[in-house]
Structure 1
Amino acid sequence: MMALLHADFLHLPIAHRALHDRAAGRPENSRAAVRAAVKAGYGIEIDVQPSSDGVAMVFHDYDLRRLTGVGGRVAALTAADLSSRRLLDAEDGIPTLVEVLEIVGGKVPLLIEIKDQDGALGPAVGGLELAVAGALKGYAGPVAVMSFNPHSVAAFHRAAPDVAVGLITSSYRLKDWPLIPAATRDHLREIPDYNRTGAAFISHEVGDLARPRVAELRAKGARILCWTVRTPEAERIARQHADNITFEQYLAPFPA
């Protein structure tokens, strides 16, 4: 069974890592950035990583240093420790997914990226997917889950078949993905796992949207999102190929 992407994901621009602006006290994936996106009426994209005690935490990096100023692996600390680790340029710490769901409250669409826990986009996944599925149980707002790792998407889809899932896709250039084996990059580049994962959409690298496989999937009914648009001109080009955009560093206009 394939759950369809809610229509709100197709007409509300999606704020990448929420509507972040560190100079304004809203670092990426923070509660303040989420609140700002909700207030502005944008869709929201967030990332999740696991705590050591299995809680889905809203955080992009695997290491804490860039966003908290102190190093350490996210997955090595408990949810309580991570919640107390203050984000740079913020007044509070790392939120849990449950906390973000409470802030959003179904008012705008929420797009959740499950960060790869295998290390090479392979099959060693499952725990974080179950944690996200558990957090979403009973959530009534527009929500969708995605990952670069097809194994992760498939695992989440098995755990929560009523939630729309998608693949994050890329040109997989070596310079951008040095830790991923060449065979894996070559396999993923042409998006062969779309059907087997139960996907309803892809979110494709904005500079690679002209790839024929993207047009082929769109012609077959796949919804096409993209990452990450940073200028109005890039948005104009992206919308020639994609149904909607994920944006940052400017305020994307709402469609008429």
Structure 2
Amino acid sequence: MHGKGVPENSLAAAEAAIAAGMGIECDIQRSADDVAMVFHDWDVERLTGAAGATGALSAEELHQLQYSGSDQRPATLRELLSLIEGCAPLLIEIKSKPGYGVERSCEIVAQDLASYSGDVAIMSFDPRAAAWVREHSPDTCCGLVMREDEHGYTQTAAERWEAFEYAQPDFLAYHIAALPNDWVEGLRADGLPILSWTVNSPETRQRGLLHVDALVSEGAGLP
């Protein structure tokens, strides 16, 4: 969720997406006081120039930071929802890593969404997220994000299948660098919606349009 000169995951980026008639994708980190924050990194340095782990700071401490080169500040998910008010579809990626309590993040996000009536879906690289949503918020659409390189949870075909079977996702968001492939094509042929990320060039946009149902795009990958 960002554009030229606009910080990623900022409220300004959401406003720009709404003005352009586009959907919004955001990332969620959990603050030290258990608030869902619209923020990508596990550390605040890259985006704000400050030091510290994102999860070690309270929501108020995070809100006091400014994105580098901008007057924008990290926002809570509730602030983002209030801004959107159903004006655009929202795709929420819940960040996770090995040993992290992603279920607590899912619970907080679900609480924030309880009174929200707009179109929204949740996704995560962590298959535990989709499993939690399926059990505790079954009316919420939830997907599994997947990649095949050295990052993430699913470097091997066996790991990808195990994660998919555990998550039982409503959709799959697949790394554009790993497309096309027979497994994803087969899932799509069987009716599973397929998204792809991050589409950031004309070439990846064209590839995505040929092989998936929706694109998570930025920069030169936008139409």
Q: Which runs of 5+ in 2 are unaligned?
A: none
Q: Which has the higher contact order (CA 8 A, sep 6+)?
A: 1
Cα distance between partner residues in 1 of 2:164 and 2:20? 32
What is the correspondence of 1:120-159 to structure 2 with a 5 Å cutoff? 120=98, 124-159=101-136
2:98 equivalent to 1:115:
no
Identity among equivalent positions (%) equals 37
Residues 21 and 157 of structure 1: is their aligned pair in 2 closer, same or farther, counting only changes over 3 Å? farther
2:205 equivalent to 1:228:
no
Cα distance between partner residues in 2 of 1:210 and 1:192? 20
What is the correspondence of 1:88-103 to structure 2 with a 5 Å cutoff? 88-103=68-83
Residues 193 and 202 of structure 1: is their aligned pair in 2 closer, same or farther, counting only changes over 3 Å? same
Q: Which runs of 5+ in 1 are unaligned?
A: 1-17
- Return the match for 2:3 from 12, 20, 35: 20
Q: CA deviation at 1:189?
A: 5.0
Whose helix proportion is higher, 1 or 2? Answer: 2
Cα distance between partner residues in 2 of 1:163 and 1:84? 32
Contact 1:84/1:92 (CA < 8 Å) preserved in 2? Answer: no
Contact 1:34/1:104 (CA < 8 Å) preserved in 2? Answer: yes
Q: Which residue of 2 aligns with 1:203?
A: 173
What does the per-residue CA deviation read over 1:190-216, in whole Å, with 9 as the maximum and x for residues that have no partner? Answer: 343435434111110001121211011
Cα distance between partner residues in 2 of 1:185 and 1:233? 24
TM (norm. structure 1) is: 0.81
2:32 equivalent to 1:52:
yes
Detail structure 1 runs of 4+ shifted over 2 Å in the superposition: 19-22, 122-125, 156-159, 184-198, 250-253
What does the per-residue CA deviation read over 1:196-239, in whole Å, with 9 as the maximum and x for residues that have no partner? Answer: 43411111000112121101111111101000111122211111
What does the per-residue CA deviation read over 1:33-86, in whole Å, with 9 as the maximum and x for residues that have no partner? Answer: 111001111111100000001000000000000000011011101111111111
Q: CA deviation at 1:187?
A: 5.9
Indicate the larger mover: 57-66 or 216-225: 216-225
What does the per-residue CA deviation read over 1:92-112, in whole Å, with 9 as the maximum and x for residues that have no partner? Answer: 311000001111111111000
